[in-house]
Amino acid sequence: MKLWEFLSRESDVPLSRVMAIAAVSGLANALLLAVVNQGAHTVSSGETTQLFILFGVVISLYIVTQRYILRVASIEVERIIAKLRVSLSQKIRQADLGPLELLGRSRIYASMQTETLTISQSTAPMIIACQGSILIVFSMLYMLILSRVAFFLTVAIVGLGVLVHFKSRNELIAEMHRSTAKENEFFDVLTDLLEGFKEMKLNQARGRDLFAELTQIAEDVAETKTKTGVRYADYYIFTQVLFYLLIGAMVFVLPGLSAVYSDQVTQLTAAILFIIGPITGVVGAFPVFRLAEHSIENIARLEAELDQARVGNNDTYAGNGEPPPVMKTIELNTVRFSYTDRDDHPLFTVGPLDLTLNQGEVLLIVGGNGSGKSTLLKLLTSLYYPSSGEIRVNGLDARTIGYRTYRELFSAIFADYHLFERLYGVSGVDDKRVVELLRLMGLERKTTWLDGRFANQELSTGQRKRLALIISLLEDKQIYVFDEWAADQDPSFRKFFYETLLPEMKRRGKTVVAATHDERYFHVGDRVLKLEAGRFIDDSGPTEIGTR
């Protein structure tokens, strides 16, 4: 069983010990039945003192073992889930950007949340099912002692119920999966409604069509869940009737099949009532186990793919944390990169590219949408690895110093940048410097610097980019990479960026690489390179160039 193997591997507490105590708890539960039945049998004689003491001992044993099991299960499973989430997060942290993009966020979120929750919720049913199994075994042995005919009659009826249960349960689970799939469709359309609200309001026909689809899916969800509910109700009624039939068989059929006393009938009926719950728990736990094992398989598959996403031999997090070298030049020698689909078929290729970046220069990269500017910046910063060619720093292959160390040269604001809630990775921040930068970027009335974070990030797109620029400047790296930073700025801040900030950074010895469409500011760059279809060209024709 994959669930058992998984828990055995990850738990600090031996599962054999937990199961042994669960067996003791199940045995104590079964002994309670025997003690109660025996007490009821001897109550008329008044000799119940010893049985009462035994009852107290057995119930105390049950309480102690049950409390231990549930506490350990609760503590261990949450510790395992926390360990699993940290492990996955570490693998994500060490993964490479390209393969991680192919994996997709939704799958990672599902493993982090839904799959781990399924595993967590399966642990308690597994332990309770083990206890129930022990209780059922001892209770059935007790019934065998009372009456062999009753024992085999119970086995036959319960066996029939289990067969029907598995058939009905599988059909019920299939209905639940269909219902879940329909609900996912509903939330996909609901996301379109919320995220595409502006576009919908501007086009009434689009709004009507979207709402019609949403309505149809909602009706389909209701129909599917209704079928599931009806099937579950029928299944529930069947199982309850089955147990009533079993009790009826003990009372009305058994006396005709075997010579039994009324006391035996009473004791057998009590035994059946006693095991109804455990049988239901044991049988009902199997689908939970299947779902948990499916989740474990999904997580294992994700872990394997995350491991494969670490393709950079020199890109590890186990180094000695050496600072990067003082950059004099960075060279891209016939660098090529190809986007591929999940089957590794090339979709778009950038390169071959030849480029030399010198310390303290401002390099502008221009080109239309889809020309490869963002890909070039990710290659330059080694977020993407070249499919062929090499990147050299001061004449040394970037792989020699290690990609992790190489990346420490850069601070970047990409088009899909992310603002962190805290200023991670930047120590010794001068509060006065932060206040000065907020004033410089016109944000002093929009947000404040408080306890290592910016108090408000609910800003416009342009304001958020200016806040990202403040954070980038505080990092104080050697090379700054900007991907269309000025695109969302008003004319005054656009001019400030090109004619004030970039020259100031150049005077401070910083190297700047900026992708841009702002032709009126091309004069700011020491060089301007144009990309088209993934290659450098000059403006006079398709001739490939490395510099201009």
Q: Return the HEC string of 377-425.
A: HHHHCCCCCCCEEEEEECCEEHHHHCHHHHHCCEEEECCCCCCCCECCC
Q: How far apart are CA 439 and CA 142, in angstroms?
A: 83
Cβ–Cβ < 8 Å for 404, 348:
no
Between CA 512 and CA 526 the distance in angstroms is: 10
Q: Is the pTM of this model over 0.75?
A: no
* β-pair type (511-515, 449-450): unpaired
Whole-number Å distance between alpha carbons of 274 and 132: 11
Residues 234, 175 contacting (CB under 8 angstroms)? no
Q: What angle do CA 359, 360, 366 make, to 5 degrees?
A: 95
- Exposure letters 283-301 (e unless 16+ CB within 10 A, then b): bbbbbbbbbbbebbebbee
- In the numeric block, the tokens 């000059």 are attached to 538
Q: Is the Cα dihedral 515, 521, 527, 530 positive or negative?
A: positive
Which residue in this structure is represented by tokens 């104080």? 476
List the chain pLDDT tens, one digit each, 548 residues: 577 777 777 777 777 787 788 778 878 877 887 787 777 777 666 667 788 888 889 889 988 988 888 788 778 888 888 888 888 888 888 888 877 877 777 677 777 777 788 888 777 777 777 777 877 888 888 888 888 888 888 888 878 777 776 666 667 667 766 776 777 678 778 878 887 887 788 788 888 888 898 899 888 888 887 877 777 677 667 777 877 888 888 888 877 777 766 777 777 888 887 777 777 777 767 767 777 777 888 888 888 888 877 755 445 544 455 788 899 999 999 999 888 766 667 778 887 999 999 999 999 999 888 888 999 999 999 888 888 899 999 999 988 888 888 999 999 999 888 888 777 888 788 888 988 999 999 888 888 888 778 887 788 888 999 999 998 999 899 999 999 998 888 899 999 999 999 999 999 999 999 999 888 899 999 999 998 888 888 654 333 334 33
Encoded amino acid at 544, one letter: E
Contact 127, 318 (CB under 8 A): no
**What pLDDT is attached to residue 546?**
40
Return phi, psi of residue 456, to 5°: -135, 125
Task: Express each pLDDT in 89-139 by its tens digit.
Answer: 888 888 888 778 777 776 777 777 777 888 887 777 777 777 778 778 888
Q: For residue 471, give the H/E element and its range.
A: helix 461-475
Beta-carbon-side half-sphere exposure of residue 325 (alpha carbons within 13 Å): 16
Domains belonging to the chain, first-starting first, are 2-147+260-308 (1.20.1560.10), 329-544 (3.40.50.300)
219 residue type, one letter: E
Residue spans of alpha helices (H) in 249-261 = 254-257
Q: What per-residue confidence (pLDDT) applies to 366?
A: 92
Say which amino acid occupies 300: A
Helix (H) or strand (E) holding 210, with range, is: helix 204-248
Which residues face 528 on adjacent strands?
364
CA 411, CA 362: separation in Å to the nearest integer?
14
Compute the radius of gyration of the chain from its Cα atoms: 35
Q: Round to whole Å and give the CA distance between 357 and 332.
A: 9
Q: Which residue matches tokens 């969800």?
A: 221
Q: Is 448 exposed, middle or buried (0-12, 13-18, 19+ CB in 10 A)?
A: middle
Provide the β-strand partners of residue 366: 530
- State CA 488 to chain mean position distance: 33
Q: Minimal CA–CA distance to 126: which of 38, 2, 243?
A: 2
| CA 312 – CA 402 distance, rounded (Å) | 9
Of 522, 516, 505, 545, residue with least CA distance to 359: 505
